[in-house]
Amino acid sequence: MSLNQKVADQLYQIGEILAIKGDRFRSRAYNMAAQRVTALTEDIGAIAERGELEEIPGVGKSIAMVIEEIIETGLTGVLLDLRDSLPKGVLQMIEVEGIGPKIAMRLSEELGITNIEMLEQAAKEEKIRELKGFGPKKEENILKAIDEYRNRSTRFLLGEVLPIIQGILSYMEDNPAVRRVEVAGSARRRKETVGDLDVLVSSLDPETVTEHFCTMPPIIRILGRGPTKSTVVLENMLQVDLRVIPPESYGAALQYFTGSKEHNVKLRTIGVKAGYKLNEYGLYRREDDSLVEAEDEAKIYEALGMRWMPPELRENTGEIEAAIEDKLPELVTLDDIRGDLHVHTDYSHAIDPLEEMVEKAVKMGHQYMAITDHSQSLAIAQGLSEEKLMQQIEEIRRLDEEYSEIKLLAGTECDIKSDGSLDYNDEVLEQLDWVVASIHTGMQQDEATITNRIVEAIKNPYTRVIGHPTGRLIQRRNPYPVDLDAIFKAAAEEKVFMEINCSPSRLDLRDVDARRAKEAGVKLVLGSDAHSVSQLEFLPLGVAVARRGWLGVDDVVNTWSLDKAQGYRK
Ligand code: DGT
Ligand code: CA
Ligand code: CA
Ligand code: ZN
């Protein structure tokens, strides 16, 4: 959102709340000003610097001051105060289609509704139809609109939110009232998508922390603001919850809000059996409510008779049992990763040239990197003709000499054709060091056909890796139908690797399938699938998938020496 949009958005919000409060005159003034700001062709920051805000038609002295405040602090106090002056839940309710400010105020005042859950309940209990001017039809529409409101809230890709989290953490750490700050919830568990962010702050001064948090620049909306809990919406519509916790119970809160819910439920059951009570405030003895532990997350797990476990495992899929038996896997870490084994260049449809990719990989400390551009038939991705591939191999060999810090592999991401054959013949494949075989076309075929195609590709003696094995794009395209167990069995026999593609929308294999692959005796390869220099930084996303898939160093080929990786399949 540009600064102009941000200013206009806040002016509109002020106008909206003023209208709710019945101040029509000022409401109209703010709406007019918002319209004018939207229509500006110049950056409003520049206009403010020249001191010419009041020359914008419709902007008088008081609105100019509000605009200056938005430019300087990111959020105007006028809006904050107005929000606080509204009954609770009104702002949330008007997000539901068909519920305007007036209706929201009446629902709040006459029925005491303060959130959408209560609204839904009231409609179901047929209480809304009793209000003057309402009826069964309106009630029905409200229920429908609530459904739509809930479906509207899409989830965010882990890859999108990690940089935002970095921003929030460093912003919050700047405030001296903040002792510790972490993001809990699904983001701490590194799930492939997150619904919202759960920021936890340890502090003795919640007021200062809350004020600092609520004036964070990318905030466009504050849904709630209280002494220990606030909820805001960022400009990309990501919702962020803040909880301020006293240091002495920070560990308990961190444990609780990291989840998953299923993990917590199981943990509480175990606690109950052992005579404990566990909640977001601490672990207590049931008999006398005396506190056992609250400050330190690890000590809570230990008191419950198990080892602390990495958040990525906390999905109640056997991690608690493993922790009790002291059989938790030693998970792979980003530091263990030595190189990248799926990288594109502008020889095919990627943005950056080979040498720039190499320079970046060297900077990242990679010991090796496989260049794997698309193969000849894949016209949409400007796949390489045999001739062009030969040129590229030559350049790779030359750069490999030049850059002694890194070993470069000449490879391909070779299309698996609809009959299961590879898109280059053996004479070509023979000259390559690293062959990733992937499906990019014919995804409409039935399960048996696609499974056979991949098994055929696995049997090709030049194949090292099956790239993005299911073809899914998160929230955009379902996986093609494929019998993964059959694929894993063939791959284990042939000693062919399965990829965990690290591209944010792919993350393919996904966590649970990577775990199944491991159990079937298959080793996994991380590939950034980078199509530009910056995308070489996708590897941590694949590490997250690997950890959620219970993989250790031995399971992930990128932690191995190149000799071991290349010698694995004879
Ligand atoms: P998300 O935001 O949908 O990606 O998923 P989470 O896991 O971040 O869930 P969220 O944001 O609703 O709540 C954060 C954590 O708080 C959740 O992982 C576990 C904890 N939590 C929330 N509600 C409950 C509950 O009703 N029972 C228990 N035991 N834990 C809860
Ligand atoms: Ca969450
Ligand atoms: Ca080299
Ligand atoms: Zn591909």
Q: How far is the CA of 367 from the centre of ligand 4 (A)?
A: 23
pLDDT tens sequence across 345-403 = 999 988 899 999 999 999 999 999 999 999 999 888 889 999 999 999 999 999 999 99
* pLDDT value, residue 83: 84
The pLDDT of 250-263, averaged and rounded, is 97
Q: Name the residue at shortest CA distance from atom 27 of ligand 1.
A: 261
With a cut of 90, say whether residue 449 has pLDDT above it.
Answer: yes
Superfamily, domain 334-567: Metal-dependent hydrolases (3.20.20.140)
Q: Which atom of ligand 1 is nearest to the CA of 256?
A: 20
Q: How far apart are CA 82 and CA 407, in angstroms?
A: 61
Given CATH 1.10.357.10, say whether it is the number of domain 3-83. no
Identify the pLDDT of residue 172: 98
Question: Which residues contact residue 137 at a Cβ distance below 8 angstroms, ignoring those fewer than 6 apart?
Answer: none
Q: Tell me the three state secondary structure of residue 472.
A: coil
Quick: pLDDT tens for 194-203: 999 999 999 9
Pocket test for ligand 1, best of 189, 191, 198 (most atoms within 8 A of CB): 198
pTM reported for the whole predicted model? 0.79
Average pLDDT score over residue span 246-275: 97
Q: Which residues surround ligand 3, an ion (CB under 5 A)?
A: 400, 403, 406
Ligand 1 centroid – CA 260 distance (Å): 6
306-345: b (≥16 Cβ within 10 Å) or e = beebbbbbbbbbebbebbeeeebbebbeeeebbbbbbbbb
pLDDT of residue 1: 64
- The yes-or-no verdict on residue 266 having pLDDT over 70 is yes
Closest residue by Cα to atom 5, ligand 1, is 186
Q: Rounded to the nearest whole angstrom, what is the distance from the C-alpha of residue 353 to the centroid of ligand 3? A: 17
Which atom of ligand 1 is nearest to 259's Cα?
A: 18
Position 20 scores a pLDDT of: 84
Atom of ligand 1 nearest to the CA of 189: 7
Ligand 1 lining (C-beta closer than 6 Å): 185-186, 194-196, 198, 256-257, 259-261, 264-265
- Is 104 or 251 the better-scoring residue by pLDDT? 251
The closest alpha carbon to 397, from 414, 383, 411, belongs to 411
Dump pLDDT digits (tens) for 4-32.
988 998 999 899 889 888 898 999 999 99
Q: What's the pLDDT tens digit per position in 380-396?
A: 888 999 999 999 999 99
pLDDT in tens, 56-72: 999 999 999 999 999 98
Residue 101 has pLDDT above 90, yes or no: no
**Pocket perturbation via mutation, ligand 1, pick of 155, 194, 257 by most ligand atoms within 8 A of CB:** 257
Q: Is the predicted pLDDT of residue 343 greater than 90, yes or no?
A: yes
Asked whether the domain spanning 90-152 has the same topology as the one spanning 3-83, the reply is: yes
What digits encode the pLDDT tens for the residues 77-93?
A: 899 888 888 888 888 88
Asked if residues 342 and 372 have their Cβ atoms less than 8 Å apart, the reply is yes
CATH match of 90-152 with 1.10.275.10 = no
Tokens of 337: 């990763």
**Ligand 3 centroid from CA 565, angstroms:** 17
| CATH number assigned to the domain with residue range 156-170+188-245, chosen from the 4 options 3.30.460.10, 3.40.1190.20, 2.10.109.10, 2.40.40.20 | 3.30.460.10
How many whole angstroms separate alpha carbon 345 and alpha carbon 355?
9
Question: Which stretch of 50-64, 243-257, 507-521, 534-548 has the lowest confidence by average pLDDT?
Answer: 50-64
Topology of the domain covering 250-324: Beta Polymerase; domain 3 (3.30.210)
Spacing, Cα 499 to ligand 2 middle (Å): 28
pLDDT band at 224 (very low <50, low <70, confident <90, very high): confident
Q: Whose CA is nearest to atom 20 of ligand 1?
A: 257
Average pLDDT over residues 256-276: 96
Please tell me the predicted confidence (pLDDT) of residue 121.
93
Q: What is the mean pLDDT of residues 34-52?
A: 91
C-alpha distances (whole Å) from 377 to each of 20, 66, 90, 347, 441 are 61, 59, 57, 14, 10
Local structure of residue 415 (DSSP, 8 states): E
- The domains of the chain are located at 3-83, 90-152, 156-170+188-245, 250-324, 334-567
**Closest alpha carbon to 413 in 405, 422, 404:** 422
Q: What is the pLDDT of residues 103-154, one digit of tens each?
A: 888 999 999 998 888 999 999 999 999 989 889 999 999 998 888 777 665 7
Ligand 1: residue whose CA is nearest its atom 17: 259
Q: How far is the CA of 372 from the centre of ligand 4 (A)?
A: 9
What pLDDT sits at residue 152?
63
Q: Does pLDDT of 428 surpass 70?
A: yes
Average pLDDT of the chain is 94
236 pLDDT tier (thresholds 50, 70, 90): confident
**Residues ≥6 apart with Cβ < 8 Å to 379:** none
Residue 362: nearest ligand to its CA?
3
Q: Could you say which ligand is closest to the alpha carbon of residue 195?
A: 1
Query: Whose atoms come closest to the Cα of 409: which ligand?
Result: 3
